[in-house]
Structure 1
Amino acid sequence: MNAETRTPPPSQRWQRFYNVWGLTASAAILIVTALVVLPLPFAIASRSAASLLVAGTLAVLLAALYWGAGDHRGGFHVANLVTAVRTLCVVGLLAWLSGGEARGGALDLTAQWVVFAVLVLAELSDMADGAVARRFGATPFGATWDMENDVLFSVGLCVLAHRWFGLGGWVVISSLFHPVYFLLFGFQSDPPHTPAVYKLFAKTVCALQMIALISAGAPFLPLPLASAFNAVVIVLLAVSFGWDLALRPQLCFRWSRSSP
């Protein structure tokens, strides 16, 4: 047997890497979120330190996913760069805001508008990457890259919403559905004959999630209204993931059988 036949094909190598990356990323997100939000003895009280920790974690996870994809990535693609803009924006904002305590802690009105404008532009890039992919060519990696950038972006938005925009710590629940799902069940592609109405619902809820989190930083939106909007979205996310599990009951059955 020669070396070529002993080496797994790119798709297998990618799947193995992605499973490891997904488990590692999910665990890292849960740990960092706990350190930033929960009132633990070893929690991070400083907003600056919390912002830097989250920014660094997101940047490392994003870079690891991109470079770890290797041959599966298929070289450089403009669409992948556009997809990463939203995560890079929230990482940059968290890093910039980490100096907020040195400036007095609270953001002035100008800074609030700057943060809000950057987040809106970041979300618009999410709408643009599909068009760019269709123009310059889509790749199998692109779909996974887009999904995981959504996850990382939502984590950063939740930390911004809680630590800088004034929402309660409960808002981070919005970004934890995917990591918890991945830890419990691993990556799952859409089951055969997935209803079109479910796909539409899931995409709509994902879009509402980002809009709700970004709206928390809008200087013109009262905090109670932003809180209510995000609370409704969390309920919708629970419905979406519950619906997903209802479409594949074997996952719950298999997990319950493997539990002690």
Structure 2
Amino acid sequence: MPRYLTSPGWAVAAGLVAPLVLSAVLLPARSGLANTDVALILVVVVVAVAVSGSRLAGAVAALSAAVWFDFFFTRPYERFTIDKTRDVETAVLLLVVGLAVSQLAARARRLQVIAVTDADYLSRIHDTAELTQSARSAGAVVDLVKKQLTDLLTLRDCRFEYGSLLGHPPRLEQDGTVTVGRRHWDVERRGLPDEEIELRTFGNGHFYGRFMLRPAPGAAPSLQARLVAVTLADQAGRALDTAETTRE
């Protein structure tokens, strides 16, 4: 399950307790505060909890805020009942708005994580492309790509075989999918196969070899990460092709 959908215990606890604590702080000023103002203040707490990136924590905060708003700020006080229709509407709006805002805040946090991740991917591609242009040896590019693949795909080991096609290991395809034999392997659900996986390298249409990937236990890189891996392998292929052309 993606991490932004999971919720650390502290975030859920904060969502549960924070609206109660704020309600207790506001309680002495209850007579001078309009209930709509109290509801708006409680929504701020919901947002603060949801910014952690957890939808569950934000939802818990929204429910907690609605409950304590009812208990402390609607008549009869200190009871889970509401006499006035307007207070019922405010409590319902507090819950609905709190839930909606918490989802938006969690989504914003998710998008921020994706943007940071994209920047890291682009940096890897840029660094490899830059080395491809400046390196005197294609081997230096291959070595860099091995390190990049190890970090990117969470590998225990990565090696390069020049011109080899022995055996029929699982394969990381050009579209980022993984095949075992002729069957598609569900990486998102099962993680990478617990055996060496080949990633073939081409330059200008010529096959130059393959990276042999040994995943760490439980490694399940995203499709985006796998596509970046294919791009890095292609850059190594271009470096190998350039080196061969230069020798000729």
Place the TM-score, normalised by the shorter chain, in its bin: under 0.3
> Which structure has the larger Rg over C-alpha atoms?
2
Q: Which has the higher strand share?
A: 2
Q: Which has the higher contact order (CA 8 A, sep 6+)?
A: 1
